[in-house]
Copies of this chain bind each other. A is one copy, B any other.
Amino acid sequence: MGHSGRGRIERLWPLLFAKPADALLVTSLPNIRYLSGFTGSAGMLLVTSHRATLFTDSRYTIQAAQELAGSGVKVEIARKGLLMSVASHLGRARRRLRLGVDPGNLTVAQQGAFTGILGNQVKWVQAAGLVERLRAKKDPTELARMREAAQLISDVFAAVLPKIRVGVSELLVSAEIEYEMKKRGASGPSFETIVASGARSALPHARATSKLLCEKELVVLDQGAILADYCSDMTRTVFLGRAPVRARRMYQAVKEAQEAAKAAVKPGVAAGDVDRAARRVLERRGFGRYFTHSTGHGLGMEVHEAPRLGKGDGSLLEEDMVVTIEPGVYVEGFGGVRIEDDVVVTSRGAIDLTSATREFLEL
């Protein structure tokens, strides 16, 4: 986490002061990790203009000290619960604090507890998505890691291909995928690996089950690895045996939709326009109504980040964002096709991070 700490926290200040707020209470763990380098599963980070303090519990005493050494972030071990510690820290301020918080990352129960302890001492300021905004644009270290995470999953796919065959269960294929990831240094999958075969491939978010792969089936494989804290996310669809015309036509349409969406990616373009580019191709090919999700999403420390590439989404793409491009077509009872790559937004357009072949493989 070499780039976390002071630099990132300092880039947060102008966003915070613009609200205006005196401090930001960061409650989302990936945001905390991004700003401080702390990787524990419980914590809150309080950022003011002159100090950042991480609150965590006694399970993380040693780990927090190690991870935050040199970051400039102070550690406070909460003895009576995180919330109580943060509240009593805030209660020590000499004046009424304008406290920024992301209402999407704070529960009604947490806010109620804070208000119960602090009463009027804190003025809540809605400060949604500030850290997410920083995180959306990747720095060179992050881009290098994401390139490696994407390469890793491409390599895993190539390694697992010989094991995708009739008679093997979806679960076993997903086990092989995740084993190959870890063997290559991934800390784990960035989401539960999807292996969906036959009619199940028409479920865009099916999990792997004990169902065996059969002759003449579409198989959707959606997989990603976390490598050095950054996620990859890649989908490939293969056919077991010689594919009928219908499956080929579906595949070709999805492939062209993906190419059209990638061609639409540029800094300054609305996310919804990228989605429209994919959707138009599928509509022209008669598959419009079978494309039931968005074209993609931002990717980074989390597998779903800003921006979302959905219908009518107005947020503008910026240089150094990393997004997935993943149109799909799902025909109930027959099967589905999805092709997904990770791309970086550059001044020259989308640059692929994913290198696995996009040809229709008949295994």
Report A's interface with B, CB cutoff 8 A: 39-41, 58-63, 101-112, 128, 171-172, 174-176, 178-179, 181-183, 185, 187-188, 192, 202-208, 210, 292-293, 330, 332
How many angstroms from the CA of A264 to the CA of B352 in the assembled complex?
A: 58
A330-B105 Cα distance, complex, nearest whole Å: 32
Q: In the complex where A108-B103, A192-B188 touch, is A205 in contact with B41 (Cβ < 8 A)?
A: yes
Measured in the bound complex, the distance between the Cα atoms of B208 and A215 in whole Å is: 39
Interface residue from B63, B104, B108, B187 paired with A192 (Cβ < 8 Å): B187
Residue of B nearest to A180 (CB): B175
| Given A107-B103, A111-B108, CB of A63 within 8 Å of CB of B175 | no
B104 touches A204 (CB 8 A): no
| Residue contact B292 to A58, C-beta cutoff 8 Å | yes
Least CB separation from A183: chain B residue: B175
A83 to B102, CA, bound (A): 18
Complex Cα spacing A175 to B330, Å: 33
A183 cross-chain contacts in B, Cβ below 8 A: 172, 175
Question: How distant is the Cα of A60 from the Cα of B17 in the complex, in angstroms?
Answer: 41
Question: What are 6 A-B contacts defined by CB distance under 8 Å?
Answer: A62-B203, A103-B107, A106-B107, A108-B111, A175-B178, A176-B179
User: How distant is A310 from chain B, measured CB to nearest CB, in Å?
Assistant: 11
**With A63-B203, A171-B187, A187-B208 already in contact, 12 other A-B pairs whose C-beta atoms are closer than 8 Å:** A41-B205, A59-B204, A59-B292, A63-B205, A102-B109, A103-B108, A104-B107, A104-B108, A107-B107, A175-B178, A175-B181, A179-B179
Chain B nearest Cβ from A275, distance in angstroms? 14
Within the complex, which residue of B108, B188, B332 is in contact with A107, where a contact is CB–CB below 8 Å?
Answer: B108
User: CB distance A58 to B293 under 8 Å?
Assistant: yes
Instruction: Give the complex CA separation of A40 and B110 in angstroms.
Output: 26
Report B-chain residues with C-beta under 8 Å of the C-beta of A330: 62
A210 neighbours in B (Cβ, 8 Å): 185
Distance (Å) between the CB of A292 and the closest chain B CB?
4
A107 to B270, CA, bound (A): 28
* Residues of B with C-beta under 8 A to A203: 60, 62-63
Whether A179 contacts B175 by the Cβ 8 Å rule is yes
CA–CA, A292 and B78, complex, Å: 12
A202 to B210, CA, bound (A): 38
Whole-angstrom CA separation of A327 from B245 in the bound complex: 60
Contact B103 A105 (CB under 8 A): no
- Contact residues in B for A103 (Cβ distance below 8 Å): 107-109, 112
Is A61 touching B205 in the complex (CB atoms < 8 A)?
no
Task: Kindly list chain B residues whose C-beta atoms are within 8 Å of the C-beta of A176.
Answer: 179
